[in-house]
Chain A
Amino acid sequence: GENVEQHPSTLSVQEGDSAVIKCTYSDSASNYFPWYKQELGKRPQLIIDIRSNVGEKKDQRIAVTLNKTAKHFSLHITETQPEDSAVYFCAARRGGSQGNLIFGKGTKLSVKP
């Protein structure tokens, strides 16, 4: 089955710097890769996703890149702000089904003012 590895587990940056979180997946049939942000005590919220037919997607300060050959995808946050502090989860879903997401273990991002 699918396995998703996420790195780093913790990341601390200064406000205004960029943050990059990387994930790798094992199942070449996976074709949907969402990223969720979870603030302390809150529900996970989708912040961006990418489909396997696209190599990069941007939404304001957030971007995601996908390398299908290497089976890895990354989240890039530019001009970080203290409110970006949260746990970020990457996930993958296998094509051909509407089944469950397989999540990475999360990255705790701290943005210091």
Chain B
Amino acid sequence: GAGVSQSPSNKVTEKGKDVELRCDPISGHTALYWYRQSLGQGLEFLIYFQGNSAPDKSGLPSDRFSAERTGGSVSTLTIQRTQQEDSAVYLCASSTGLAGGLLWDTQYFGPGTRLTVL
């Protein structure tokens, strides 16, 4: 079946502009995660959704970052007033998110959106 998809694949924007990044998880996956990968760095957790709720927003770096998920499917990560330090690859992942304490839920990643802030 189809994997996780993200759009756009590349986004170049000017400092101070707002951007929206989209993630389409694998069909039926209730858990969705956003990570950020700066050049040559590991993956930094941003936010996690279970259904439409975000129980863990601890990784959002500032109040310029927000995310929402509607219909338990598509998620949008919004960055307001972008700064040059926001330049990175933004990766989305999804997992089945089965209830009942499935602790070893595999996360499947999308191809990412490469954001460049000029």
A-contacting 9-mer, from B12-20, B80-88, B107-115: B107-115
How distant is the Cα of A106 from the Cα of B55 in the complex, in angstroms?
A: 27
Contacts of B91 in A (CB 8 A): 43-44
Once the chains bind, are B103 and A103 in contact (CB under 8 Å)? no
Interface residues of B (CB under 8 A from A): 4, 31, 33, 35, 41-45, 48, 50, 55-56, 59, 91, 95, 97, 101-112
Q: With A42-B111, A105-B42 known to touch, is A95 a contact of B106 (CB < 8 Å)?
A: no
Interface residues of A in 18-62 (CB under 8 A from B): 31-32, 34, 36, 42-46, 49, 51
Contacts of B59 in A (CB 8 A): 100
Once the chains bind, are B48 and A99 in contact (CB under 8 Å)? yes
How distant is the Cα of A89 from the Cα of B37 in the complex, in angstroms?
A: 12
**Further contacts, 9 of them, CB under 8 A, given A91-B43, A98-B31, A100-B56:** A31-B104, A43-B91, A46-B107, A98-B97, A98-B105, A100-B35, A101-B107, A105-B42, A106-B42
Q: With A43-B111, A98-B105, A99-B56 known to touch, is A89 a contact of B42 (CB < 8 Å)?
A: yes
Q: With A89-B42, A104-B42, A105-B42 known to touch, is A98 a contact of B102 (CB < 8 Å)?
A: yes
Instruction: Quote the shortest CB–CB distance from B102 to chain A (angstroms).
Output: 7
Selected contact of B109 from candidates A43, A93, A99, A105, CB within 8 Å: A43
Once the chains bind, are A95 and B56 in contact (CB under 8 Å)? no
Pairs across A and B, CB under 8 Å, 29 listed: A6-B42, A31-B103, A31-B104, A34-B106, A34-B107, A43-B4, A43-B110, A43-B111, A44-B91, A49-B104, A51-B104, A96-B101, A96-B103, A97-B103, A98-B31, A98-B97, A98-B102, A98-B105, A99-B48, A100-B45, A100-B48, A100-B56, A100-B59, A102-B45, A103-B35, A103-B42, A103-B45, A105-B41, A106-B42
